[in-house]
């Protein structure tokens, strides 16, 4: 009888532990979650020592209960008008139009900030160098082999740069437009981090490499379920998702519930 009792779960002790944790740290954890703190930052700021796993559990429960983190959207996928940010084209899909004006994957280095004017300046600078080199060679009586090919390559690079900048600008303009039309509680981004199993650490490191350490810490601190989840576009998540859209390799989509728009 004694052995059977010892083997039984201590429901009372577990309930008491949860109550004590909520009184001592629960309110502080929820407050810091609202401020955008990461799990590790929350652990460092708590007055009472709390295991990281317990903090993660509290953070996840609060995010899901408050609707910041969803397991599924309240609107079916087929109800959204899809605007893809991949190739610049408008495709007819039945009676709906799918607008494709997406971010090409060429300029994704961290903190690289180009403008249309910068691209033009760089192209003009390179051309001036090329002309100067050509004049020098001509003055020296040397041949200039491959001039036409050099020009074609240079023009192609400049054209690709302009296409990339135009696509980025269109994406940011559309994102801003949808954020104005939809409140924060009506704006979400898909998060596939819980679906990554094989080589998880390596793949996540590559996917999130464009983020700052604190931004990566926020994503990795959430104990994602093993399915695609949806995070509300809070100020912190909006910053992260935008960086990933412009510079990262994460397959994510932005969902706007009021306007029924999906940016992919």
Q: Which two tokens stand for residue 58?
A: 């509290």
Q: Which two tokens stand for residue 208?
A: 């999130």
**CA–CA gap between residue 264 and residue 262 (Å, rounded):** 6
CB crowding 9-37: b at 16 or more within 10 Å, else e = eeeeeeeeeeeebeeebbebbbebbeeeb
CA distances from 181 to 46, 185, 258 (A): 38, 12, 8
Give mean pLDDT in consecutive 10-residue pieces for the chain, a chain of 264 residues: 53 43 68 92 88 92 96 96 63 38 36 38 43 44 52 62 82 94 97 91 92 95 96 96 92 96 93
- At 135 the pLDDT is 43
pTM: 0.68
Find, among 242, 204, 202, the residue nearest to 220 by Cα.
204
- At 147 the pLDDT is 58
For the chain, the structural domain boundaries read: 2-66, 79-109+166-263, 116-162
Alpha helices in 107-212 (DSSP H): 116-139, 147-181, 200-207
């Amino acid at each position: 009888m004694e052995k059977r009792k010892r083997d039984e779960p201590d429901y009372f002790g577990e309930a008491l532990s949860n109550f004590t944790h909520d009184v001592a740290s629960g309110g502080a954890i929820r407050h810091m979650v609202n401020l955008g703190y990461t799990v590790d930052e929350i652990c460092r700021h708590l007055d009472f020592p709390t295991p990281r796993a317990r903090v993660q559990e509290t953070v996840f429960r609060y995010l899901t209960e408050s609707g910041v983190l969803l397991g599924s959207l309240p609107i079916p996928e087929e109800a959204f008008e899809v605007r893809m940010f991949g190739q610049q084209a408008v495709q007819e899909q039945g009676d709906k139009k799918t607008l494709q004006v997406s971010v090409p994957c060429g300029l994704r280095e961290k903190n690289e900030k180009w403008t249309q004017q910068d691209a033009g300046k760089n192209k003009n600078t390179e051309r001036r160098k090329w002309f100067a080199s050509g004049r020098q060679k001509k003055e020296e009586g040397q041949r200039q082999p491959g001039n036409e090919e050099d020009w074609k390559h240079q023009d192609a690079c400049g054209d690709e740069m302009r296409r990339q900048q135009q696509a980025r600008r269109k994406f940011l303009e559309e994102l801003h437009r949808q954020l104005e039309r939809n409140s924060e509680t009506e704006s979400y981004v898909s998060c596939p981090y819980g679906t990554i199993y094989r080589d998880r650490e390596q793949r996540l490191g590559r996917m999130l490499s464009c983020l700052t350490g604190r931004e990566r810490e926020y994503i990795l601190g959430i104990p994602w379920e093993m399915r695609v989840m949806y995070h509300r576009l809070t100020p912190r998540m909006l910053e992260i998702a935008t960086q990933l859209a412009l510079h990262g390799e994460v397959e994510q989509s932005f969902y706007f519930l009021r306007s029924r728009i999906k940016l992919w």
